[in-house]
Structure 1
């Protein structure tokens, strides 16, 4: 019986490990809905147009079935070379963020968009009913585990009866909490579960994607940058000329709001949670911070001669986009030299009633952008491009066709350029010291 017991224990351990591996595969399996919500939901809807086109039927509208797989990870390149990509940018104005997704992940997203889960109609009486099988699966798992444990005990008792009948003397059975097989399985389960959650927590450490704090004054970029078409650089002038974009001072706000003391926009102001906002009251808050009297349209007197109207104090805005202290990022380098749009990192800011962190701003996200973004070399012939890159003259020359002439200066041969484009990666944009002190 001892031999059979060893075989049984090995089979049991194998089944437990197989179930554990299956559950682990389920954890990491592609989930189209989760991938859609994590990467696409801020700009796309499944069944209707939003900031970008609806995803349902996207593969049918595209030039070929493989187009989407190339597009998602090569936006910066295709938007300049692919006719369909150019048409998309012309129609939707803004350019889609570039991702680094696997083909299986993109397929899962598109499959989910083409066949999203159908919400069942509410039952009679008006009560809503949602289908969630996680509780059922949990109960079934516990029942199966209990059955397996009972079978093990039955096997132990049968073995003891057989030994008594045959006169075989054996020691007392090993308690469950001392059984090496059980302990090994329990340790492996705990190790895998803890490792999964620890790894996810470590990867997301310090990232604040979708962070959306409540600000002291409700400021709608949708109204200012969207409806009223105010340039980002009017308020954040430092983004073009310095390392920091800068938060505008109260004086910048008052340049317009000395005369605009009411909100009369076409759309109602609403917070993310659906709460209505009184725009006129928010402007009054601005006046309190500025020390401005709306009735007389004058600032409060400066009786203490500190250069600030009495009662005025700075607005305590809550910073949203934060990078670690060991990361160097220069706004002017990206905006003025790299000619990147604000939307590249901040998303469609002109459509946000309340600003939130659009991208995770991880190292992989930045590196992927450097690998795809092309360098705008200065062209001496038509004086276009950026002189900042003049030190990389070698790369610029590699973009030109090589003309070979004979001794009479006649064109003998024209060779193709050595390179069709130069990305930021080629000029050292992925070297560690570029971003880390």
Structure 2
């Protein structure tokens, strides 16, 4: 049996242990910023901030123009990270060792200040950096292996080698048919020659093939004439259908801007440069000032010395207060109305749907025909993005009896006044 004093001692020790435990947990909770959390709302909001301000130079898990960002709150304090995001040069100027090491490692590239970001924006941004878009290494390796099975893998089309084989087989079959027909004709001729035929029939069976006579025959002349007229008519009609169609048009621009580099390799969102695409009728061509957001700090490419000649043209345009005279690629006739925000913002249509794989183009060309038939066909096939859009709730309810999905054609997408007014 334990004495009363021993029991009191044990109870006191347990109370002290509990107090120390909660004190430790409390300090950890206080040390961690409760605003930098792994919540879907914070991560989604942070991703928006990241895409608008950071994506051009940073990735979460790998080095890019700037360092990989994930884990910054482990390497430094949250307050340090916020200060650096707001004004990196101010932190560097204090002599901060880590900040100066980063600055030197990335060739003294100046990160623009982001003093316009609120504290909530910073918290959401850090939440996304730490918890957003995590990639499973095993899944990533499997995807890379699946994509490396060979050229053309997963394209969904018939390889050109198979088409060639099919054509060769068809030609061989046709030749075999001709040979068989020739043999049948020869056998029949020999058989008929052994029969007691009348003189006219015998002359017909034994007659020889006369190519000149065939070429001069009325039937041959009519067939050839009909084919020539049909070919000329088809060529003329095709020519009429291509009037005003500039599919494939890819003019040389005053500055050799590569979408493959900017939208492809650097993954700059289309909306960053074409600022009107979600808010207006036109996507608008970016001004030189938008270019300077990045090229104030990036003045060469490929590691070359000095300023790149193409980037120098941007500086010249800004210094002389002259717009860059880009050559227009896509141009609808004045009689047609097209609204980018209606398609991109409301309809959720990707840029590549109309413009092709723009992120792979060194020189931009017109990918689609942009004819009325092309637009109408799209309206017939495209389903309405009604999910989460209250504007379409009533339409979806009225369309609920139909087995087919609600498409653009069902809400007036084929009416003349939609595009012509």
> What TM-score range do you get, normalising by the shorter chain?
0.3 to 0.5
Give the TM-score, by structure 1 length.
0.46
Which one has the bigger helix percentage?
Answer: 2
Give the TM-score, by structure 2 length.
0.48
